[in-house]
């Protein structure tokens, strides 16, 4: 009977144990904020909150704000209190004119150049996907340098007039998981970063290969470069996510920076070793922690690590170095952008749910 009582109590209180951290209002928060051109959801969140990733809790129960991506420059956000909790109400700004029709763009989570570059276009490719994508064969003249208007060939039949972007494989990232229940069998996933090389348009196809024309290029196109479809201008649905808190149980490791730099800093795009199969969702915000210093020596003779041979060492607590917002999850990996970085750091830091 006592066991059943404990179970019932746990079920009743379980929601409070897993509840997301409450929004922490800044002491300097405004009562009214007028959205400006160039604002992002992250910018506005940081105006009101010390923990911008809790932004959804300010608007999710508010009947005036059904979708944060329908907030436009000129709109007025009013901070109100409902049952002792802060919420935002929205007053739309409408400018009527019988002569001029102004098309306003809704705000996005982050600056447009980050969103379009890393959300709308592929930057990672798995080994499995690599085997199915068309690749460059070369030119009939064996030319090494191509300019706009030149013609080359691909190894698959592609739809005439369709547009494609040419990429080159840059670096590989590998994820290995240890499965305790299955005799510690390692499950490995591999993914590669892609570097933009050129844009091409399909001229014609013979059913086996395709003839392409160069529309734009950044550097020399070579055989074996990868082709991926070039997305159109209507990508707003890919940009529609807002900052949110991930589950406390979800954590990841920063494998590296997508451009291959040794050090990582603000607004750099990083690769995490967890993907949508693990629960990663675009918009989730993680805190990044590096290991604390290691102290060696005996009592009264402590000093920072100077030798790897000494065994009497103490690892100090982790140090928060930045936040990172997930931009695009793949199956086993994710792309995220670094935010609020205080100093450059190296790959290997741990991404965890923000602490209350």
CATH number at residue 343: 2.40.10.410
Q: For residue 130, what is the enclosing H or E element?
A: helix 127-132
Does 294 share its domain with 334? yes
Confidence (pLDDT) at 234: 45
Confidence (pLDDT) at 201: 97
Does 172 share its domain with 268? no
- The CATH number covering residue 62 comes to 3.10.450
The C-alpha atoms of residue 286 and residue 352 are separated, in whole angstroms, by: 5
Does 206 share its domain with 298? no
Confidence (pLDDT) at 21: 61
Does 174 share its domain with 139? yes
Q: Is residue 238 part of a domain?
A: no
Q: Is residue 208 part of a domain?
A: yes
Q: Is residue 244 part of a domain?
A: no
The C-alpha atoms of residue 241 and residue 337 are separated, in whole angstroms, by: 14
Nearest to 284 by CA among 293, 294, 274, 292: 274
Torsion sign across C-alpha atoms 319, 258, 46, 53? negative
Q: pTM to 2 decimals?
A: 0.72
Does 265 share its domain with 213? no
Confidence (pLDDT) at 43: 83
Q: Is residue 68 part of a domain?
A: yes
The C-alpha atoms of residue 239 and residue 17 are separated, in whole angstroms, by: 31
Does 223 share its domain with 264? no
Q: For residue 112, what is the enclosing H or E element?
A: helix 112-115
Parent domain of 56: 32-95+103-109
Tokens of 162: 């369709």
Helix and strand numbers (H, E) in the chain are: 5, 19
The answer to whether 256 touches 270, Cβ cutoff 8 Å, is yes
Q: For residue 81, what is the enclosing H or E element?
A: strand 76-82
Structural domain count of the chain: 3
Q: Is residue 130 part of a domain?
A: yes
Half-sphere exposure of 315 (CA within 13 A, CB side): 6
Confidence (pLDDT) at 352: 95
- Beta-sheet pairing, 76-82 with 85-91: antiparallel
Does 215 share its domain with 138? yes
Does 127 share its domain with 211? yes
- Domain end, chosen from 195, 229, 263, is at 229
Q: Is residue 11 part of a domain?
A: no
Q: Is residue 23 part of a domain?
A: no
Q: Is residue 236 part of a domain?
A: no
The C-alpha atoms of residue 102 and residue 120 are separated, in whole angstroms, by: 25
The C-alpha atoms of residue 250 and residue 285 are separated, in whole angstroms, by: 11
Does 149 share its domain with 69? no
Q: For residue 152, what is the enclosing H or E element?
A: strand 151-154
137-159 exposure pattern, b = at least 16 Cβ within 10 A, e = fewer: bbbeeeeeebeeebebebbeebe
Does 269 share its domain with 335? yes
Three-state SS for 138?
A: strand
The C-alpha atoms of residue 205 and residue 282 are separated, in whole angstroms, by: 37
Q: For residue 42, what is the enclosing H or E element?
A: helix 41-48
Confidence (pLDDT) at 240: 63
Does 264 share its domain with 346? yes
Question: Tens-of-pLDDT digits for all 356 residues of the chain?
Answer: 444 433 333 334 334 334 556 778 888 888 899 888 878 888 888 888 888 877 777 775 554 455 555 778 888 888 888 777 888 877 766 555 554 444 556 677 777 666 666 665 668 898 888 889 999 999 998 887 888 999 999 999 999 999 999 999 989 999 987 654 455 556 689 999 998 899 999 999 999 999 999 999 888 999 999 999 987 544 444 556 778 889 999 999 999 998 888 899 988 899 999 999 999 998 899 999 988 888 888 888 788 877 666 667 888 888 889 999 998 899 999 999 998 888 899 999 999 998 76
Does 225 share its domain with 271? no
- Domain end, chosen from 83, 109, 135, is at 109
- The CATH number covering residue 187 comes to 2.40.10
- Domain end, chosen from 109, 142, 157, is at 109
Question: By CB neighbour count within 10 A (0-12 exposed, 13-18 middle, 19+ buried), where does 9 fall?
Answer: exposed
């Amino acid at each position: 009977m006592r066991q059943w009582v404990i179970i019932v109590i746990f079920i009743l209180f379980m929601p409070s144990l897993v509840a997301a951290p409450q929004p922490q209002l800044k002491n300097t928060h405004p009562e009214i904020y007028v959205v400006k051109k160039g604002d992002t959801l992250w910018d506005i969140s940081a105006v009101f909150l010390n923990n911008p990733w809790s932004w959804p809790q300010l608007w999710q129960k508010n009947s005036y704000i059904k979708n944060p991506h329908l907030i436009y420059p000129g709109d007025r956000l009013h901070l109100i209190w409902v049952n002792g909790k802060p919420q935002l109400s929205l007053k739309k700004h409408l400018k009527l004119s019988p002569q001029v029709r102004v098309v306003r763009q809704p705000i996005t989570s982050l600056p447009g150049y980050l969103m379009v570059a890393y959300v709308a276009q592929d930057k990672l490719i798995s080994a499995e996907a690599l085997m199915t994508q068309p690749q460059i064969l070369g030119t009939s003249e064996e030319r090494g340098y191509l300019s706009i208007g030149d013609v080359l060939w691909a190894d698959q039949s592609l739809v005439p007039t369709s547009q494609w972007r040419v990429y080159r494989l840059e670096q590989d990232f590998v994820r290995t998981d240890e499965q305790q229940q299955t005799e510690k069998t390692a499950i490995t996933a591999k993914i590669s970063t892609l570097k933009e090389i050129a844009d091409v348009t399909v001229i014609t196809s013979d059913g086996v290969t395709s003839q392409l024309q160069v529309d734009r290029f950044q550097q020399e196109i070579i055989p074996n470069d990868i082709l991926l479809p070039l997305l159109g201008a209507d990508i707003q649905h890919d940009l529609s996510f807002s900052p949110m808190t991930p589950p406390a149980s979800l954590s990841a490791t920063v494998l590296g920076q997508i451009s291959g730099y040794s050090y990582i800093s603000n607004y750099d795009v990083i690769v995490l070793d967890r993907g949508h199969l693990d629960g990663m969702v675009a918009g989730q915000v993680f805190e990044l922690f590096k290991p604390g210093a290691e102290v060696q020596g005996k009592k009264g003779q402590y000093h920072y690590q100077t030798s790897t041979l000494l065994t009497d060492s103490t690892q100090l607590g982790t140090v928060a170095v930045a936040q990172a917002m997930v931009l695009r999850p793949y199956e086993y990996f994710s792309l995220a952008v670094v935010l609020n970085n205080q100093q450059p750091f190296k790959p290997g830091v741990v991404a965890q749910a923000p602490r209350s």
